[in-house]
Amino acid sequence: NGGKFCGGFDINVFGRIHETGDISLLPDTSTETTCYMEDARKPSVAAIEGLALGGGLELAMLCHARIATPDAKLGLPELTLGVIPGSGGTQRLPRLIGLPSALDVMLSSKPLASVEAKRLGLVDAVVSSAELLKVSRQWAADIAGGSKPWIRSLHRVDKLGSLVEMHGLIQKARENYIRAAKNTPQYLACLGVIEEGIAHGGYHGILKESKVFTELVLTDASRGLVHAFFSQRAASKVPNVSDIGLKPREVRKVAVIGGGLMGSGIATALIVNGVNVILKEISSEHVKKAIHAVKGNVTNLASRKVLTQDKAEKALLRLKGALDYSEFHDVEMVIEAVIENIPLKQKIFSELEKVCPPHCVLASNTSTIDLYTIGENTASQDRIIGAHFFSPAHLMPLLEVVRTEKTSPQVILDLMTLGKKIKKVPVVVGNCTGFAVNRIFYLYGRGANLLVHLGVDLFRIDQVITDFGFPMGPFLLMDLSGYGVTVAVRETMSSSFSDRTFESPLVDLLLKSGRNGKQNGKGCYIYQKGMKPKPDLSVLAIVEECRKLINIMPDGKPISITDSELVEM
């Protein structure tokens, strides 16, 4: 009804449980009740329009058939909240679509489009909204009349494969999550529950599922992830912007200035989400290199099945290189993504004011420079805003929307809306040193550098942070971001907080030795095409030189510190 079959469990209940510790607030959806519906003598068919997520999909899988509209989305996103599906999803989904596909759906938490769901066997037919109820009713009548199969998901075994194959798949999946299991227990728990059903039958599986679900609700992982869920929702509500009746203007064409690591990533994020892009660079060679980088990003997304080949090809048709401003006459937004150089950015913005239409949003991807400084030579302060993406920009979900006191509410709303369109989480922040993320993250990096000077191995620091659950440690991240960004952030933060910073010469020594992280294939790690970054042990000599320049080790000896103490720091 209204494009939403069922979005699942009311997540507000999780919040109340976390506040009170009262697990009895969970709704009583017993195993007996759900199985009674599935085993009933009257056939049921789920007519799915819009969303069937979490408990909504579990409800649909209790039915004997599922009919969906073309725009329907089906999925089990529970793991993103620190729990597992709790109403039979871990048992019924593998029996409907096979274990490999079910593992992918549950562990990734990504919804399936209805056409893909039909291909896998989760959906029986895809029909128009106008035909949905008619077809669903007829399907139920056909089941009752015997002309359509009466399928009870929990009793199916034809898609499961052999026990040896299934245990092998689960073990392989388990290896990907063992390292971070302490802080994200829901992944191994989900695999364990699936395995229980495979070994002892679906009914035993859902009994264990119910027990494990209840246990996970009270974990720190669930508390933190539910908090993040509500924080993300709250971020879209900005006083005097989202509550004053403004409507976002459609952004169909964006110019990106600068095709380096960040600019090519931003361009990628835009074109794969339906936005036409003009990518401007300073020379034909730079344009060629930038477009090649974008093509590489899109190809990588297609190889990882994030995009279909057809969508990847269509995305690249939205990209056009440029050497001048001749194509800027009809752009709705410009995102400047050049190096952190104040005179260069000021020159660009003064030029943009002359060549872009008067309604065009003028955004800078700066991570460190005051926006007033960038736009001080223009008369368009109300159109200037920060659009701070994070590297790699086509993958990282966060987008800092940086407002000044002069930025108009319409411009803020337009950038927030575009951010959501390209699948980012826009967070509005003030125009201050480091904005929000770098202001916090700078201390994380400084702490890691301080530990190196105290004698802790930098590769150990990265490993400990990865074991904790982060996708990478601070030094690998520094490599991927590029040392220029590190230097620029350091200079900005040091000038604002000179009495509160610890400055290591490590990045300067790395640059002096010809290293620049992933950009030139050499940093703290070695980068080779098609291979994971490998620690470069030769960098330890540079670390020793760094420690000699600033020697703060007590009595000249490395400190003794446990892994848990490193994490707490």
Kindly indicate the confidence band of residue 167, based on its pLDDT and cuts at 50, 70 and 90. very high
Whether the per-residue pLDDT at 29 is higher than 80: the answer is no
Q: Are residues 101 and 165 in the same domain?
A: yes
Q: Give the residue-averaged pLDDT of 175-199.
A: 91
Q: Are residues 80 and 186 in the same domain?
A: yes
Q: For position 221, what pLDDT does the model report? A: 94
pLDDT tens sequence across 395-427: 999 999 999 999 999 999 999 999 999 999 999
- Structure tokens given for 83: 């729990």
Q: For position 500, what pLDDT does the model report? A: 85
Q: For position 201, what pLDDT does the model report? A: 94
Mind giving me the DSSP string for 467-499?
HHT-SS-HHHHHHHH-HHHHHHHHHHHHHHSGG
Kindly indicate the confidence band of residue 494, based on its pLDDT and cuts at 50, 70 and 90. confident
Q: Which of 430, 450, 473 is the last residue of a domain?
A: 430
Q: What is the pTM of this model?
A: 0.81
Q: Are residues 444 and 388 in the same domain?
A: no
Supply the residues annotated as catalytic: 58, 78
Q: Are residues 543 and 407 in the same domain?
A: no
DSSP 8-state symbol, 255: E
Q: For position 37, what pLDDT does the model report? A: 86
The residues, any chain, with a CB within 8 Å of residue 62's CB and separated by 6 or more, are 34, 37, 38, 44, 88, 92, 153
Q: Give the residue-averaged pLDDT of 434-459.
A: 93
Spell out the alpha helix ranges (H) of 69-201: 89-97, 99-108, 114-120, 132-145, 163-175, 186-200
CATH of the domain at 21: 3.90.226.10
CATH of the domain at 349: 3.40.50.720
Q: Are residues 26 and 125 in the same domain?
A: yes
Report yes or no on 22 lying in a domain: yes
**Which range among 355-359, 382-386, 527-531 shows the weakest confidence by mean pLDDT?**
527-531
Sheet holding 65-68, edge to edge: 45-48, 65-68, 125-126
Q: Which amino acid is at 490?
A: R
Q: Are residues 493 and 392 in the same domain?
A: no
- Structure tokens given for 121: 């066997």
- Count the residues in the chain: 569
Report yes or no on 6 lying in a domain: no
Q: Give the residue-averaged pLDDT of 492-519.
A: 91
Q: Are residues 305 and 161 in the same domain?
A: no
Burial class (CB in 10 A: 0-12, 13-18, 19+), 312: buried
Q: Are residues 142 and 191 in the same domain?
A: yes
C-alpha angle 14/398/532, rounded to 5°? Answer: 105
Q: Are residues 150 and 191 in the same domain?
A: yes
Q: Are residues 84 and 175 in the same domain?
A: yes
Report yes or no on 4 lying in a domain: no
Report yes or no on 236 lying in a domain: no
Report yes or no on 545 lying in a domain: yes
Q: Which of 375, 404, 430 is the last residue of a domain?
A: 430
Q: Which amino acid is at 135?
A: V
pLDDT tens sequence across 66-111: 999 999 999 999 999 999 999 999 999 999 999 999 999 999 999 9
Examine residue 474 and say whether the peptide bond preceding it is cis (omega within 30 degrees of 0). Answer: no
Report yes or no on 144 lying in a domain: yes
Q: Are residues 17 and 32 in the same domain?
A: yes
Whether the per-residue pLDDT at 38 is higher than 80: the answer is yes
CATH of the domain at 555: 1.10.1040.50
Contact 274, 307 (CB under 8 A): no
Report yes or no on 246 lying in a domain: no
Euclidean distance between CA atoms 431 and 152, whole angstroms:
57
Euclidean distance between CA atoms 110 and 121, whole angstroms:
17
The residues, any chain, with a CB within 8 Å of residue 267's CB and separated by 6 or more, are 256, 259, 277, 279, 290, 294, 319
Kindly indicate the confidence band of residue 2, based on its pLDDT and cuts at 50, 70 and 90. low
Number of domains in the chain: 3
Q: For the chain, how far is it from start to end, CA to CA, in angstroms?
A: 50
Q: Which of 367, 398, 430 is the last residue of a domain?
A: 430
- Domain of residue 54, residue span: 11-228
Q: Are residues 368 and 405 in the same domain?
A: yes
